[in-house]
Amino acid sequence: MSVAPSFRRAYSGRRVLITGGLGFIGSSLARRLVGLGARVTIVDSLIPEYGGNRRNLAGLGRRVNVHIADVRDWPRLPQLVKGQHYLFNLAGQTSHMDSMTDPQTDLDINCRAQLAILEACRVHNPGIRIVFASTRQIYGRPDYLPVDEHHPLRPVDVNGINKIAGESFHLLYARVHGIPATALRLTNTIGPGMRVKDARQTFVGIWIRSLVEGRPFEVWGGAQRRDFTYVDDAVEAFLLAASHPAAVGEVYNLGGPPPVTLQRLAELLVEINRGGRFTVREFPADRRKIDIGDFYADDRRIRRRLGWRPKVDLRTMLARTLAYYRRELKNYV
């Protein structure tokens, strides 16, 4: 991906804080920002069930300042946000199932800690430019497709409820307290560094792990259609959102190449992998209750207003991701 000169101007020499910075998207963002000459500080809890993995920063060495800390640890937040020009706020609990079995942990991370981060910014650094990682999960089962930003929010799980609150706090602090914040509603994001140990981040992770390990994988409800964003395109959206004045107080869907059925996605992965097997089965009962059915995003708002363009097609993103985990799987399981 080319380095837009405006990104150099926006980020070179600037101090950037990334929560969840050892995670999949956070670490890709850190790597890109280091390349742009930014001074990057990362906060990550490295909780084993979450997305953080030191391997994601391989090769960056001391060019990134890493704090192993939990965003629920409020007393540490003021020191972390002070003096930063940007905050990419990606720390979160992402598993829908975990949010149903341990709802309070999801609330404490996705809702309560978000308010604490914003309060730390309001008191100690109200000019900080924030981009918050929100999620398509907040829409729930779509009334219509593709889903635009006007679609009602009717979450189907505790995770969706808490992410709405987290996103709403950011937009409220922008409006009432003048803190320049933007929210991006992410769909399935794919790429090197994604969690493949299990399905806690996206179901595609466990598919890729199974393929690389030569085991069959399960496709639940194969007729469902979903859309996918390549991680570099998501990173581009974060950098655009934080540097574009029109994005303050706004919320944008991210999308990507045209949606496909899960069956087709599985076939494509097997084809790219030159081998592999999967079985299609019904959704398990406990998952069905919180399943959202077909989903794909209408991302025209960010395309029009910020000029975002996803550049990586589905085949390429899957090929790059598979290639990465053929080399790196041992560091991710």
Choose one: 42-50, 110-118, 189-197, 210-218; the region binding a copy of itself (CB under 8 A): 110-118
Choose one: 25-33, 98-106, 275-283, 291-299; the region binding a copy of itself (CB under 8 A): 98-106
Q: Cβ 134 to a copy of itself, closest distance in Å? A: 14
H/E run at residue 304 = helix 300-306
Under the criterion CB under 8 A, does residue 157 sit at the interface with a copy of itself? yes
Choose one: 50-58, 60-68, 168-176, 294-302; the region binding a copy of itself (CB under 8 A): 168-176
Dihedral of the alpha carbons of 237, 238, 243, 246, in degrees to the nearest 10 = 60
Handedness of CA 227, 94, 164, 156 (dihedral sign): positive
Measured distance CA(288)–CA(207) in Å, rounded = 19
- Selected from 65, 145, 168, 218, the binder of a copy of itself by CB under 8 A is 168
**Residues, the chain:** 333
Measured distance CA(7)–CA(36) in Å, rounded = 7
Measured distance CA(68)–CA(224) in Å, rounded = 38
Closer residue to a copy of itself, CB minimum distance, 49 or 119 = 119
Beta strands in the chain (DSSP E): 15-19, 39-44, 64-68, 86-89, 129-135, 181-186, 188-190, 217-220, 225-226, 228-230, 251-253, 260-261, 278-281
Under the criterion CB under 8 A, does residue 64 sit at the interface with a copy of itself? no
Choose one: 30-38, 104-112, 265-273, 276-284; the region binding a copy of itself (CB under 8 A): 104-112
Name residues whose C-beta falls within 8 Å of residue 275's C-beta, 6 or more positions apart in sequence.
none
Under the criterion CB under 8 A, does residue 109 sit at the interface with a copy of itself? no
- Selected from 6, 104, 279, 316, the binder of a copy of itself by CB under 8 A is 104
The angle formed by the CA atoms of residues 23, 16 and 329, to the nearest 5 degrees, is 20
Under the criterion CB under 8 A, does residue 162 sit at the interface with a copy of itself? yes
Site for a copy of itself in 269-308 (CB under 8 A): 289-290
| Binding region for a copy of itself (CB under 8 A) | 100, 103-104, 107-108, 111-112, 115-116, 119, 152-153, 155-158, 161-162, 164-165, 168-169, 172, 175-176, 289-290
